[in-house]
A and B are shown apart, each in its own frame.
Chain A
């Protein structure tokens, strides 16, 4: 069972609209949660990184929230642009012994922005 679940699996929105992507995780103990953007044919690029003590982090039009109690995170994109079309991947870092540094990836939400 995947320890990081994302929803929706895919999403289509019109340019200029806002959207919110969801991430639920069961990874424990938790170190930090990241959102990555992956364009087709490219490696993932980090958007935000949050530790358990942070509940919101912004990067331009991207705002991530984290509720470590309920183990949920969201990524909100405002005023979407065509270039936002990509897969958005939620990644949770595990923090224990020999698996130090290991990341657990969700399957991603495929976002398509239409003009």
Chain B
């Protein structure tokens, strides 16, 4: 498929465990976004990459959250020492251009549902 893919789709972690969530954006898409979606809520912005550069990480809730996109394509969101409040769906989206200024669509992946027990 040519869409955004994420893995794993589901992850159960024990509190204190580290997790890594992967996002494969659409090939050629410059921009990549990570969002956190709690149950019954809209997605909340976490961080934004333009190619390999992390231009905005103001949405990351704590220093336990770290994201990278070293070669400008695949991205990994890492959460260290997971807490129960980290339980959520983590959505990745990519877009062809810088979607704030231009009406390029953001294409979302299916998300990774993280449950911390």
Contacts and interface: CB of A to CB of B under 8 A. Distances in A.
Interface of A: 4, 31-32, 34, 36, 41-46, 49-51, 89, 93-95, 98-108
Given A101-B33, A101-B48, A32 B103 contact: yes
B58 interface: yes
A103 B106 contact: yes
B110 A43 contact: yes
B44 A43 contact: no
Contacts of A89: 42-43
B101 A31 contact: yes
A59 B38 CA distance: 28
B110 A102 contact: no
Interface size class of B (residues with CB under 8 A): 20 to 34
A46 B103 CA distance: 11
Given A43-B91, A100-B100, A102-B100, A107 B40 contact: yes
B111 interface: yes
B115 to A, nearest CB: 14
Contact of A101 (B31, B41, B43, B107): B31
Query: SS class of chain A's interface: helix, strand, loop or mixed?
Result: strand
A32 B35 CA distance: 19
Interface in B81-117: 91, 93, 95, 98-101, 103, 105-111
A104 B45 CA distance: 7
B20 interface: no
A31 B100 contact: yes
30 contacts: A32-B103, A34-B105, A43-B93, A43-B108, A43-B109, A46-B105, A46-B106, A50-B103, A51-B103, A93-B99, A93-B100, A95-B100, A98-B56, A99-B58, A100-B56, A100-B100, A100-B101, A101-B48, A101-B56, A101-B98, A101-B100, A103-B33, A103-B99, A105-B35, A105-B42, A105-B44, A105-B45, A106-B42, A107-B41, A107-B42
Nearest to A46: B105
B55 interface: yes
B101 A103 contact: no
Nearest to A50: B103
B100 A44 contact: no
